[in-house]
Structure 1
Amino acid sequence: MSALDQLAIRFLFASAGCLAAGLAVWSAAWLARRALPALGMQRSTWLLGQAAITVTFLLLLMPPARQANMQPVFEVDVSAAAAILPVPDVAPETVAGMLAAAVDGHSPLAWLAWAWVLVYTLGLAWMLGRLWRGQRTLNRLMRAGARQPGASGPGIVEVDAPIPPMLVGPFKPRLLLPLSLRDIDPLQRELIVAHELTHWRRGDLWWLTVGAMLQALCWFNPAMRLLREKLSWAQELGCDRDVLRGRPPRERRAYAAALVAQLRMQHHGVNGALAFGGVSPDTLAARVELIRAPGAARHAALARGAGLAILALAFAGNLALQPALAWSSHPKTLDCTLMLDAASGARLVEQGDCGVRATPASTFNIVVSLMGYDAGILVDAHTPALPFKKGYIDWLPAWRTTTDPTGWIRNSTVWYAQQVTSRLGVDGLQSYLQRFDYGNRDLSGGVTDAWIGSSLQISAQEQAAFLRKVVNRELGLTAQAYDTTATLLRLPTLPNGWDVYAKTGTAVLEPPAGTTEPPRSYGWFVGWAVKDGRTVVFTRLTLDRQHPERAAGPLLKEAFLRELPSRLDAL
Structure 2
Amino acid sequence: MTPIDLLIFRFLLASCGCVAAGLGVWAVTALCRRLPDFPMQRSMWLLSQITVVATFLVILLPHSERLRVVPPIDIELATQAQSVAPETTAALAAAPATGAASATPPETVERSWLVLGAQTWLLVYLLGLGYSLIRLLQARRMLNGLAAAGCRVSALDQHHALAGALAGAPAVAVIEVDAPISPMLFGLFRPRLLLPRHLRGLEVLQQQMIVEHELTHLRRRDLQWMTAGIFLQTLLWFNPFMRLLRENLSWAQELGCDRDVLRDRPRAQRKAYAAALVAQLKMQHHSVRTALAFGGVSASTLAGRIALIREPVTGSRGRGARIAALGGLAGIFVGSLAFQPALAWRIDPVPELAPPTLAKTPWPFNDAAPPAALNCTALVDAASGRRLVHEGRCDERVTPASTFNIVVSLMGYDSGILRDEHAPALPFKAGYPAWIPSWRATTDPTSWISNSVVWYAQQVTSKLGAERFQGYIKSFDYGNGDVTGDPGKNNGLTLSWVGSSLKISPVEQVAFLRKLVNRQLPLTPKAYDMTTRILTSETLANGWVVHGKTGTAYPVLPDGKDDRKRQYGWYVGWAQKGERTVVFARLALDQKQETSAAGPRVKQAFLRDLSAWSAAL
Using structure 1 for the length normalisation, give the TM-score. Answer: 0.72
2: CA distance between counterparts of 1:198 and 1:534?
Answer: 75
What corresponds to 1:547 in structure 2?
Answer: 593
Q: Which amino acid aligns with 1:505?
A: G
1: CA distance between counterparts of 2:117 and 2:417?
Answer: 49
Matches within 5 A, 1:276-425: 278-295=296-313, 300-322=318-340, 325-326=341-342, 329=344, 333-334=372-373, 353=392, 355=394, 357-359=396-398, 361-362=400-401, 363-370=403-410, 372-373=412-413, 378-383=418-423, 405-406=445-446, 408-409=448-449, 410-413=452-455, 415-416=458-459, 418-419=461-462, 422=466
Which of 473, 481, 485 is the matching residue for 1:429?
473
1: CA distance between counterparts of 2:145 and 2:614?
Answer: 78
Relative to structure 1, the CA distance from residue 4 to residue 495 in structure 2 (aligned partners, 3 Å threshold; closer, same or farther) is closer
Name stretches of at least 5 consecutive residues in structure 1 with no aligned partner. 70-97
2: CA distance between counterparts of 1:56 and 1:343?
Answer: 43
1:147 aligns with 2:163: no
Q: Which amino acid aligns with 1:379?
A: R
Given that 1:341 and 1:347 are in contact with CA atoms closer than 8 Å, whether structure 2 keeps it comes out as yes
Q: Which amino acid aligns with 1:369?
A: S
Q: Which amino acid aligns with 2:17?
A: G
1:229 aligns with 2:247: yes
Relative to structure 1, the CA distance from residue 374 to residue 224 in structure 2 (aligned partners, 3 Å threshold; closer, same or farther) is farther
The DSSP-based 3-state class of the residue aligned with 1:51 is helix
2: CA distance between counterparts of 1:293 and 1:467?
Answer: 77
> How far did residue 190 of structure 1 move?
2.6
Q: Which amino acid aligns with 2:421?
A: A
2: CA distance between counterparts of 1:570 and 1:364?
Answer: 29
What corresponds to 1:90 in structure 2?
Answer: none
State which drifts further: 349-358 or 187-196: 349-358
2: CA distance between counterparts of 1:41 and 1:341?
Answer: 62
State which drifts further: 347-356 or 307-316: 347-356
2: CA distance between counterparts of 1:100 and 1:446?
Answer: 35
1: CA distance between counterparts of 2:567 and 2:332?
Answer: 34
What corresponds to 1:249 in structure 2?
Answer: 267
2: CA distance between counterparts of 1:132 and 1:465?
Answer: 46
Relative to structure 1, the CA distance from residue 264 to residue 417 in structure 2 (aligned partners, 3 Å threshold; closer, same or farther) is farther
Given that 2:32 and 2:321 are in contact with CA atoms closer than 8 Å, whether structure 1 keeps it comes out as no
> How far did residue 395 of structure 1 move?
8.4
1:24-76 Cα deviation digits (max 9, x unpaired): 3223323444x547533422221111111222333344444x4469xxxxxxx
What corresponds to 1:88 in structure 2?
Answer: none
Given that 1:68 and 1:511 are in contact with CA atoms closer than 8 Å, whether structure 2 keeps it comes out as no
> How far did residue 229 of structure 1 move?
0.9
1:354-400 Cα deviation digits (max 9, x unpaired): 6453425122332443455456564323456789999x996859989
2: CA distance between counterparts of 1:100 and 1:445?
Answer: 34
Which of 168, 174, 184 is the matching residue for 1:166?
184
1: CA distance between counterparts of 2:387 and 2:269?
Answer: 86
Identity over aligned pairs, percent: 48
Given that 2:539 and 2:546 are in contact with CA atoms closer than 8 Å, whether structure 1 keeps it comes out as yes
1: CA distance between counterparts of 2:610 and 2:325?
Answer: 67
Q: Which amino acid aligns with 1:147?
A: V
Q: Which amino acid aligns with 1:145?
A: C
Give the structure, 1 or 2, with the largest relative contact order (CA under 8 Å, sep 6 or more): 1
1:189 aligns with 2:189: no
Count matched residues: 526
What corresponds to 1:22 in structure 2?
Answer: 22
The DSSP-based 3-state class of the residue aligned with 2:590 is strand
Given that 2:400 and 2:504 are in contact with CA atoms closer than 8 Å, whether structure 1 keeps it comes out as no
> How far did residue 463 of structure 1 move?
5.1
What corresponds to 1:94 in structure 2?
Answer: none
The DSSP-based 3-state class of the residue aligned with 2:550 is strand
1:127-150 Cα deviation digits (max 9, x unpaired): 445444434443443343322434
Q: Which amino acid aligns with 1:28?
A: V
State which drifts further: 54-63 or 328-337: 328-337
Q: Which amino acid aligns with 1:134?
A: A
Relative to structure 1, the CA distance from residue 354 to residue 39 in structure 2 (aligned partners, 3 Å threshold; closer, same or farther) is closer
Relative to structure 1, the CA distance from residue 401 to residue 431 in structure 2 (aligned partners, 3 Å threshold; closer, same or farther) is same
State which drifts further: 217-226 or 478-487: 478-487
Given that 2:546 and 2:574 are in contact with CA atoms closer than 8 Å, whether structure 1 keeps it comes out as yes
Q: Which amino acid aligns with 2:330?
A: A
1:484 aligns with 2:523: no
1:85-144 Cα deviation digits (max 9, x unpaired): xxxxxxxxxxxxx99998877545666656555554454454445444434443443343
What corresponds to 2:504 in structure 1?
Answer: 457
What corresponds to 1:504 in structure 2?
Answer: 550
1:59 aligns with 2:58: yes
2: CA distance between counterparts of 1:26 and 1:518?
Answer: 45
The DSSP-based 3-state class of the residue aligned with 1:270 is coil
Using structure 2 for the length normalisation, give the TM-score. Answer: 0.68
2: CA distance between counterparts of 1:38 and 1:138?
Answer: 32
> How far did residue 152 of structure 1 move?
2.3
Given that 2:426 and 2:442 are in contact with CA atoms closer than 8 Å, whether structure 1 keeps it comes out as yes
2: CA distance between counterparts of 1:222 and 1:233?
Answer: 17
Q: Which amino acid aligns with 2:168?
A: S
> How far did residue 252 of structure 1 move?
2.1
What corresponds to 2:43 in structure 1?
Answer: 44
Given that 1:14 and 1:57 are in contact with CA atoms closer than 8 Å, whether structure 2 keeps it comes out as yes
> How far did residue 262 of structure 1 move?
0.9
The DSSP-based 3-state class of the residue aligned with 2:593 is coil
The DSSP-based 3-state class of the residue aligned with 1:545 is coil
> How far did residue 196 of structure 1 move?
1.9
The DSSP-based 3-state class of the residue aligned with 1:209 is helix
2: CA distance between counterparts of 1:510 and 1:226?
Answer: 45
2: CA distance between counterparts of 1:283 and 1:452?
Answer: 62
What corresponds to 1:443 in structure 2?
Answer: 481
1:227-261 Cα deviation digits (max 9, x unpaired): 11111112222222333333322222222211101
Given that 2:566 and 2:592 are in contact with CA atoms closer than 8 Å, whether structure 1 keeps it comes out as yes
Q: Which amino acid aligns with 1:152?
A: G
2: CA distance between counterparts of 1:102 and 1:446?
Answer: 39
> How far did residue 423 of structure 1 move?
5.6
> How far did residue 285 of structure 1 move?
1.7
2: CA distance between counterparts of 1:388 and 1:47?
Answer: 67
Given that 2:3 and 2:392 are in contact with CA atoms closer than 8 Å, whether structure 1 keeps it comes out as no
Given that 1:337 and 1:541 are in contact with CA atoms closer than 8 Å, whether structure 2 keeps it comes out as yes
2: CA distance between counterparts of 1:110 and 1:445?
Answer: 39
Larger helix proportion of the pair: 1
Given that 2:424 and 2:444 are in contact with CA atoms closer than 8 Å, whether structure 1 keeps it comes out as yes
2: CA distance between counterparts of 1:339 and 1:278?
Answer: 60
What corresponds to 2:280 in structure 1?
Answer: 262
1: CA distance between counterparts of 2:553 and 2:25?
Answer: 38
> How far did residue 512 of structure 1 move?
6.3
1:174-202 Cα deviation digits (max 9, x unpaired): 33211111112223223322322232333
Given that 1:371 and 1:432 are in contact with CA atoms closer than 8 Å, whether structure 2 keeps it comes out as no
1: CA distance between counterparts of 2:304 and 2:378?
Answer: 71
What corresponds to 2:567 in structure 1?
Answer: 521
Name stretches of at least 5 consecutive residues in structure 2 with no aligned partner. 84-108, 157-165, 347-370, 486-491
1: CA distance between counterparts of 2:442 and 2:151?
Answer: 88
2: CA distance between counterparts of 1:23 and 1:417?
Answer: 60
The DSSP-based 3-state class of the residue aligned with 1:157 is strand
Given that 1:504 and 1:524 are in contact with CA atoms closer than 8 Å, whether structure 2 keeps it comes out as yes
